[in-house]
Amino acid sequence: MSEQILKLIYDFTKNYNDPSSKQALDENNKNLSIVIKNGNINLSLTIDPSQKNNYDELVNILKTNIANIKGVLSVNVILTSEKTSNHSNQENKRFKINANNIIAIASGKGGVGKSTFAVNFAVALSKIGKNVGLLDADIYGPSIPRMMGISGKPELSSNKKLVPLERYDIKCMSIGFLIDVDTPTIWRGPMVMKALEQMFNGVEWGKLDYLIIDLPPGTGDAQLSLAQNSKLSGSIIISTPQDIALIDARKGINMFKKVDVPILGLVENMSYFICDQCNQKHYIFANGGAKKEAENSHIPYLGELPLDKNLRIQSDEGKPTCIDDPNGNMSLSYLKIAEKIDNSLT
């Protein structure tokens, strides 16, 4: 019932803009928070206190119209001048980096193409003129070195920090650069957290427009710690269309919501493949599951990406598809997603 009410509220509020920022009051607005409990609505909007008088009419409109939604018992609209979210204050964060935006790429389970997406998304952002870093936070199964075609060990700067390795104009850091490729990482939680902190604070990242973090799959300690201890601009969830993957994707969505990290969107990967004989789309893992999940979870749907054997070959050879086939449909899809995310954050 609460999800239905929330959808109806957003269906109404999205027709209005913040008087100061001019941003639509929809589910992507970071300054808007809606909490529903037993039919009682608490709507909070973060504003510039000097502009408070400009919100009087909007507050009355919201109260009056939301109160008329079926199932709503009461409406409380609060204007606040301070953000209370966990990701709003860089000074209180354990993991710090000089980046305008930090985006976590996440998945509820392994094998859905999360790392492949992270690599090509980073390259796509670079291609639209952004200064990009790529952090491999999957301590137990680092794959960025292979996918980016990078080998070697980072050097130390004059500040005694690790210098990230670069390829395709992307600054990269991974535990895979520091250990042998066949050596397992048999570490307990505290050691993992120490390694992640080192790759944030102990790396000479320089000034970045974007830091893209390839998270481990699932919703464990590493994901939670990164969400709580770094200034995340948002997360992108990767899933395949079938129900078993979407169940786990939903857990990731709920985790980020609980720690107040904006969800920038959901991507349906391996959505279909195009037969090289008949040139027709075949939806082998069902169709439209991620789009429906995005609608039900009230988060943006960023689109679908196909299952392509060339992508596997390119990943194994360390040539992201956005580099190896820059004008192909897959690369254009990544560029479209990169532009959409960049526009939403700038």
Structure confidence by residue, pLDDT tens digits, 40-72: 888 888 888 778 889 999 999 999 999 999 989
Amino acid at the residue 1: M
Specify whether 154 is located in the same domain as 257: yes
Other Cβ atoms less than 10 A from the Cβ of 139: the count is: 20
Q: What is the pLDDT of residue 170?
A: 96
Q: What is the pLDDT of residue 86?
A: 40
Could you give phi then psi for residue 187, rounded to 5 degrees?
-120, 145
* Host domain of residue 73: 2-80
Residues 6 or more apart from 145 whose CB is under 8 A from it?
136, 151, 172, 174, 176, 177, 181
Please report, to the nearest 10 degrees, the dihedral formed by the alpha carbons of residues 229, 29, 129, 212 taken in order: 30
- pLDDT above 70 (res 5): yes
Using 50, 70 and 90 to split pLDDT, how confident is the model at 181?
low
In this structure, what token pair is assigned to residue 254?
């709920």
The total of structural domains in the chain comes to: 2
pTM for the whole structure: 0.72
The answer as to whether 85 is a domain residue is no
Specify whether 55 is located in the same domain as 8: yes
Q: What is the pLDDT of residue 1?
A: 63
List, in sequence order, every residue forming a beta bridge with 17; answer none if it has no partner.
24
Specify whether 216 is located in the same domain as 109: yes
CATH code where residue 318 lies? 3.40.50.300
Q: What is the pLDDT of residue 87?
A: 42
In this structure, what token pair is assigned to residue 319?
């040539």
SS3 content of the chain, % helix, strand, coil (to 5): 40, 20, 40
Q: What is the pLDDT of residue 228?
A: 80
Specify the range with the lowest mean pLDDT, choosing from 180-194, 251-265, 290-304: 180-194
CA-based Rg of the chain, rounded to a whole angstrom? 21
Specify whether 17 is located in the same domain as 149: no
Q: What is the pLDDT of residue 184?
A: 67
Helix ranges (H only) for the chain are 2-13, 56-67, 114-127, 144-148, 189-201, 221-229, 243-258, 289-297, 309-316, 321-324, 329-345
Other Cβ atoms less than 10 A from the Cβ of 37: the count is: 9
Write the pLDDT tens digit of every residue in 275-330. Answer: 888 888 888 877 788 888 888 888 899 999 988 888 888 988 989 999 999 999 89
Specify whether 160 is located in the same domain as 60: no
Q: What is the pLDDT of residue 212?
A: 97
Specify whether 186 is located in the same domain as 322: yes
The answer to whether 241 and 285 are in contact (CB under 8 A) is yes
The answer as to whether 52 is a domain residue is yes
Specify whether 221 is located in the same domain as 163: yes
Specify whether 179 is located in the same domain as 260: yes
